[in-house]
Structure 1
């Protein structure tokens, strides 16, 4: 890929490495586009990983680039995203203009102060600029505009990665991050911190959209990201030397709600479903006001992030169901002692809500478990080249060892913390309000769990 540059002043020590990394990204995206539907297999961090990058936008001319840039900035504004430069200016609100460039070897960004605006110069196809009419190149220049920096240092790279994630391109962001690492550039946040930041950002994005397709994709994407992160940590931990510091399981108590508040048991049930898909054990207070989570610290953080978003969605969906009046179609026979006869009456709103939450949590659990299973199988299949005498891959062995540590840790902590008995859950409400139960399942199928769709190209 030819160069894309900026009108920078002074030394730009990271420029060559950034260009090399983005050339690698472009090569990966080209390979993925030639075999749609087939995961891209890449060696990163010493292990083979599979990626299914989002479709990269392509353009016919600078006018098409301008239309795309306008959509990008509008999307960021609607999202409430802020990209503040060193002068305290939110660059999302600064106009960005695309113009044709006479030369064909470079695309570049210009920053103008009076009036405040940015300019992206793109060589048209007719002068040999076809290479620049692609999303990766255009978003590189948009990142310059949002960073308020003309160089290619850490501030620019962090902005570029964040931009990709804000646009619903988390897999492309992962690939770019990997390419930066290959070129020896700083990683920014540590791996696990970066994963948690990404999950949190994607959750917040998803909560701002009512698009059903985006909601449907979200959950599986978040769980897949979490599972891949857990696998990477397990493999790294298994290969660490005995004397190296290794993370151990831990626990944390998480509040569910105030005593006496309705639906606490259903909230607990949702927490259990999320925890089960992330190798975390749960101990429940008898009042259902708190739970204690037991597992590895990163897994606890992922469970809490998913729960905070999903419980909000569950309650909002339940409120909408009751406001619609659809629950009145659920009826039951009630004995009228005064009239001495059976009468058909609508179910009470609290019963309908309980049935709705019950189905919602169940379906969420199924979606999480399915995403987790698919992600694990994908990682194991990618590692088939190295097996032990029993045919197990190194990934399987590492995951099994990690799970065993949690399995051993939880009973020990139960004894230490005096935890006795088994949570009995709640009475099944689905049979009392089958319509609300079905509505809960449908709403959970739309729950936002992982990422938005990319902007249309």
Structure 2
């Protein structure tokens, strides 16, 4: 009886991927470095790991975000290269997926990391991570065929421009005015989309996206994202171990949540830096509890302001009798979708919110970033 000898890749993987020790990693890297004929098979196996990640519910941005958090920049470039290489073998995807592919790092050229041994080590470290990815809730893109041919709304383009200006200005009053206008446009856009979808032959259905919630102060950031999601007719579920929240909602609202959450984080960071400078000028050292309390207060206060703006948008609609049942139906659809994706959820309480000065400063900063909707909807 005869048996075929395991390939170099099989022996390297057995040593490095199923053994968490450094010695196993060194052995596997040495095997790959010594056999240039194994390179093609190594790349093929990597593409299989990527495809397996997609089957487990991961998306390109999720993989890149995790690799960046757990490993180093060379690994991020290697992961991006694998993701691009796997595209020809993948099935058709929706616009959100394609948008993630468009922003992958290192978009051209063959990615190499140092000499053959260093490169093989980095590849095996990346494969170790990909092999151990847990399963996630799949994020289907309902109606993506129609969305694929639909250009981005001019309103979203205006919102993006307003928020960019709000982030760039050094004047709180100007940032407040720009953010308020952006939220006003978001509310108008959401109502318009709801009414259009209600009259369509095939009504839209809720989708979902993942948004990174990175340390430090991830609890406060998750609370801020939850507040933004709730105000824009979405629901957010935080996955603390993997540092992201899944936001469930209709496409136009998801886009608004992504834009506003990112902008408010930037504005909160700017405001916190100024508040800390004032604290230091008064003789107090910068502390972790100050920053945690600042961001927690900011998230809490902004949530109140956004909720008021959302209610005002509905109240000022010219056809509330038509609008309210539509919004109620969409709210129910979002809740049902969230419950299907996450049948078992728990609540958590913020930790480390003990600094009164930080809470006061965060509340004041949120007041300066307040958002109101005064303009009647068309």
TM-score for the superposition, normalised by structure 1: 0.46
Give the distance between the partners of 2:164 and 2:286, measured in 1 at CA.
Answer: 33
Give the distance between the partners of 1:252 and 1:323, measured in 2 at CA.
Answer: 36
Aligned length: 225
Give the distance between the partners of 1:192 and 1:377, measured in 2 at CA.
Answer: 27
Which residue of 271, 292, 301 corresponds with 2:246?
292
Alpha-carbon distance, 1:191 to partner? 8.2
Alpha-carbon distance, 1:192 to partner? 5.9
Which residue of 437, 446, 450 corresponds with 2:359?
437
Partner of 2:304: 366
Root mean square deviation of aligned Cα: 2.6
Partner of 1:426: 350
Alpha-carbon distance, 1:195 to partner? 1.8
Alpha-carbon distance, 1:400 to partner? 1.2
Partner of 1:256: 213
Alpha-carbon distance, 1:397 to partner? 1.4
**Greater RCO, 1 or 2 (C-alpha within 8 Å, sep 6+):** 1
Alpha-carbon distance, 1:324 to partner? 2.3
Change (3 A) 1:373 1:449: closer
Deviations 1:138-191 (A, max 9, x none): xxxxxxxxxxxxxxxxxxxxxxxxxxxxxxxxxxxxxxxxxxxxxxxxxxx968
Change (3 A) 1:357 1:422: same
| Contact 1:318–1:353 (Cα < 8 Å) also in 2 | yes
Name the structure where strand makes up a greater proportion of residues. 1
Partner of 1:383: 319
| Contact 1:203–1:449 (Cα < 8 Å) also in 2 | no
Change (3 A) 1:450 1:309: farther
Alpha-carbon distance, 1:239 to partner? 2.0
Which residue of 342, 348, 352 corresponds with 2:290?
352
| Contact 2:268–2:295 (Cα < 8 Å) also in 1 | yes
Name the structure where helix makes up a greater proportion of residues. 2
Give the distance between the partners of 2:352 and 2:169, measured in 1 at CA.
Answer: 32
Change (3 A) 1:328 1:437: farther
What pairs up with 1:52-67 in 2 under 5 angstroms?
none
What pairs up with 1:195-344 in 2 under 5 angstroms?
195-240=155-200, 244-257=201-214, 261-287=215-241, 289-325=243-279
| Contact 2:301–2:363 (Cα < 8 Å) also in 1 | yes
Change (3 A) 1:408 1:421: closer
| Contact 1:227–1:375 (Cα < 8 Å) also in 2 | yes
Structure 2 stretches lacking a partner, 5+ long: 1-148, 374-378
Larger radius of gyration: 1
Give the distance between the partners of 2:338 and 2:329, measured in 1 at CA.
Answer: 15
3-state SS of paired residue (2:247): strand
3-state SS of paired residue (2:347): coil
Alpha-carbon distance, 1:328 to partner? 6.4
Give the distance between the partners of 1:232 and 1:263, measured in 2 at CA.
Answer: 36
Give the distance between the partners of 2:290 and 2:331, measured in 1 at CA.
Answer: 38
Deviations 1:258-310 (A, max 9, x none): xxx32111111111110110111111113261111111111111101011111
Give the distance between the partners of 1:284 and 1:327, measured in 2 at CA.
Answer: 37
Change (3 A) 1:364 1:449: same
Alpha-carbon distance, 1:450 to partner? 8.9
Deviations 1:346-393 (A, max 9, x none): 7871011111111111111111111111111000xx226xxxxxxxx1
